[in-house]
Amino acid sequence: VGGLTVLRAIKAVLPDLPTVYLGDTARLPYGTKTAETIAHYVRQNVAFLVRQGVDSVVVACNSASSVLNALGDLGVPMHGTILPGARAAAALTRNGRVAVLGTGATIRSGAYGRALRQLVPALQVVEQSAALLVPLVEEGWWQDEVTRQVAWRYLQPVQQAGCDTLVLGCTHFPILRELIGDLLGNQVALVDPGLALAEELRCSSGFSLLEPVGSAERKVAAKERWFCTDPHPGLLELAKAILGKEQQVSWEFADLAGEMAADLPSTP
Amino acid sequence: VGGLTVLRAIKAVLPDLPTVYLGDTARLPYGTKTAETIAHYVRQNVAFLVRQGVDSVVVACNSASSVLNALGDLGVPMHGTILPGARAAAALTRNGRVAVLGTGATIRSGAYGRALRQLVPALQVVEQSAALLVPLVEEGWWQDEVTRQVAWRYLQPVQQAGCDTLVLGCTHFPILRELIGDLLGNQVALVDPGLALAEELRCSSGFSLLEPVGSAERKVAAKERWFCTDPHPGLLELAKAILGKEQQVSWEFADLAGEMAADLPSTP
C-alpha cells in the first residue's frame, strides 16, 4: 500500500511513463519480516512484473529496497529507495547528523546507515524503528492524536541527537509528513526517498521525457495497470486517499499465492 | 503469534497432549486480509500439519476460524475458536447484550454474530473491529498509555450499548485482558475463546486425560514441535513473553513459502 506514495511521486515528474503497479497486499507488511522472507517475496514479485512486460522495476518499499544487494541479478534493472534517499539526505544536512525513521526490517538491515556513511564517512546516523506508524497509517489515523503521541515517542531520540535531517524511510511515512514536520519543527529537513527516487528516474536518460528511448518497443500495451495480490476492501479506499480522487484505478488480481500453491496438495 | 495464547490455554488444561504448533509468521497478520486469501493460507497450513502427523487441528486464530465453514472437508477434524467463544458468551450474558472485539477480517465475516444468534436468537450483538490492538500487542506495548487510549476508543461503543459480556475475539487480545478489564470495569464479563476452546477439547473424549483414545497410534513422535514460516528475531522474544519463561521452545523453520515457489521462475 505504501508503494503508492512512490508511484504518486513518479507520476508527478513522469506523467507519461507507462506503469505496472503491484501491491503485495496478501503478504504485507514486509517491515515485520526477516530479510530472507522479504527477498523471497521480492523475487516472486519481480518475476510477475517481468511477465507483464516491464523493462525496469522500481522497488517502492524501503524494507524490500534494503535487501536489494542480496538479490543478485534478476535480469531487469532494479531501482530501490535507499540510495536516492541517502543521497538526498547527505546533500541536505548541514550539521552532519542524519536520522532515519523506518520499519523494523529496514532499520535492522542498516542499509541507510551504510549508504549514508559510504557517501560521507563522517556522518552521524541515528536509525530509529517506528513500526507502529505503519498500521496507524493503514487504519487511516493520519491526523490523529494517538498517531501524534506514537510518532513523538519515536522522534524524541532524533531530536535529542540534534539531527537536522530526517529520512522518511518507509513509504507510509510521507503520508505523515505534516504531522512529523509539526513535531520536529522546520529546523529539521524531511527527506522522502520516493521523491528522490522519482527525481533520479526523471534525470536518467532511459526515463527522459525529451528522449523516450526504447518507448516504441515497449511491451506494456496499456498506459497503466494496477495489480494487487489480495483485493482487500480497505485497499481501494486507502489507495484513493493516497493517490487523490482524480486518479482512476481499476485493480486486477495478481494470483501469486494461487500460482505458488498449484503444486501443493490442498488436502492430505 | 497470537495463536500462542490458545496453545497456552490448551497446555493449561491438557498438559500431556502432544502438540505441533505452526505460526505463519511469514504472512501475518491474517486480520487485514480477505476471507479468500485467509482460506488459502489455512489450507496450506493444515496440509503442512497433516504431513507432520497430527490427527486433529486447532485453528488458533479468530480470523482463520471465521472462514472455517467455507473450507469444506480438509480430511482432518478442525476446531475453531468461534463456536466455543460464542457458547461461552451466550452462557455468561444476563442482559442479552454481547459485544465482540476482533480484527477487520473477523468482524467483516460476521461469524461471531451468526454463531451467537444461532444459539440465542434474541441476543443483541455489537461487533467491533479493533485492528490497531494487534500491532500494539506485537510491539510489546501491553500496559502502555497509548494502548489504553486506542482500546478505549474501540470499547466506548461497547459500553454505550450496555453490553455485559465481551468476547476477546482475536488471539492477541487475552494479552490485554487486564487493561481491557480495567477500562470496562468488572460488571462486564470477558470471554477468551481460546480458553473456551481448550475447555471443550478437554471435555471431548478424544482429548480426555482419563481415556487417551488412540494415543498409542499417535504419529507424533516428539511431545512438542514448534514451527514458524519466518524465523523473525522478535518472535522468540514475544513467544517467551506470552508462554512464560518455564516453557522451553525450540523453533523449526516451516518453508511453506519455499515449497510454494519451487515451480515459479525466480528469474525471467
Q: What is the DSSP string of A175-231?
A: GGHHHHHHHH-TTSEEE-HHHHHHHHHHHSGGG-SSS-TTGGG----SSEEEEESS-
Higher pLDDT, A146 or A215: A146
Query: What pLDDT, on a 0 to 100 scale, did the predictor assign at position B173?
Result: 98
Instruction: Say whether B61 is catalytic.
Output: yes
Say how far apart CA B104 and CA B33 lie, in whole Å: 8
Q: What is the mean pLDDT of chain A?
A: 90
A80 pLDDT higher than 70: yes
Span A125-130, average pLDDT: 98
Smallest Cβ–Cβ distance between A260 and the set B74, B76, B261 belongs to B261
A266 pLDDT higher than 90: no
Query: What pLDDT, on a 0 to 100 scale, did the predictor assign at position A257?
Result: 63
What pTM was estimated for this model as a whole?
0.90
Confidence class of residue A247 from pLDDT cuts 50, 70 and 90? confident
Say how far apart CA A23 and CA A227 lie, in whole Å: 6
Percent of chain A with pLDDT over 90: 80
Confidence class of residue B245 from pLDDT cuts 50, 70 and 90? confident
A181 pLDDT higher than 60: yes
* Chain B residues whose beta carbon lies within 8 Å of the beta carbon of residue A28: 32
Q: Which B-chain residues 96-125 have CB contacts (< 8 A) with chain A?
A: 104, 108
Instruction: Say whether B170 is catalytic.
Output: yes
Residue B164 in grid coordinates = 455485559
Q: Single out the residue of B107, B114, B105, B47 nearest to residue B78, CA to CA.
A: B47
B262 pLDDT higher than 90: no
Confidence class of residue B109 from pLDDT cuts 50, 70 and 90? very high
ipTM of the complex: 0.88
Smallest Cβ–Cβ distance between B260 and the set A25, A36, A264 belongs to A264
B149–A contact, CB cutoff 8 A: yes
Of all residues in chain A, the one with the smallest CA distance to B254 is A37
Smallest Cβ–Cβ distance between B34 and the set A75, A146, A231 belongs to A231
Query: What pLDDT, on a 0 to 100 scale, did the predictor assign at position B126?
Result: 98
Cβ-defined contact of B266 to A43 (cutoff 8 Å): yes
Burial of A66 (0-12, 13-18, 19+ CB in 10 A): buried
Confidence class of residue B222 from pLDDT cuts 50, 70 and 90? low
A257–B contact, CB cutoff 8 A: yes
Percent of chain B with pLDDT over 90: 80
Query: What pLDDT, on a 0 to 100 scale, did the predictor assign at position A255?
Result: 85
Say how far apart CA A32 and CA A34 lie, in whole Å: 7
Smallest Cβ–Cβ distance between B40 and the set A37, A141, A257 belongs to A257
* Chain B residues whose beta carbon lies within 8 Å of the beta carbon of residue A231: 34
Distance from CA of B23 to the nearest CA of A (A): 13
* Chain B residues whose beta carbon lies within 8 Å of the beta carbon of residue A76: 268
Say how far apart CA A217 and CA A162 lie, in whole Å: 50
Query: What pLDDT, on a 0 to 100 scale, did the predictor assign at position B223?
Result: 86
* Chain A residues whose beta carbon lies within 8 Å of the beta carbon of residue B265: 47
* Chain A residues whose beta carbon lies within 8 Å of the beta carbon of residue B229: 37
Task: Please tell me the total number of residues recorded for chain A in this structure.
Answer: 268
Q: What is the mean pLDDT of chain B?
A: 90
Query: What pLDDT, on a 0 to 100 scale, did the predictor assign at position A63?
Result: 98
Span B237-257, average pLDDT: 88
A208 pLDDT higher than 70: no
Cβ-defined contact of B260 to A260 (cutoff 8 Å): yes
B50–A contact, CB cutoff 8 A: yes
Query: What pLDDT, on a 0 to 100 scale, did the predictor assign at position B258?
Result: 57
Query: What pLDDT, on a 0 to 100 scale, did the predictor assign at position A40?
Result: 92
B169 pLDDT higher than 80: yes
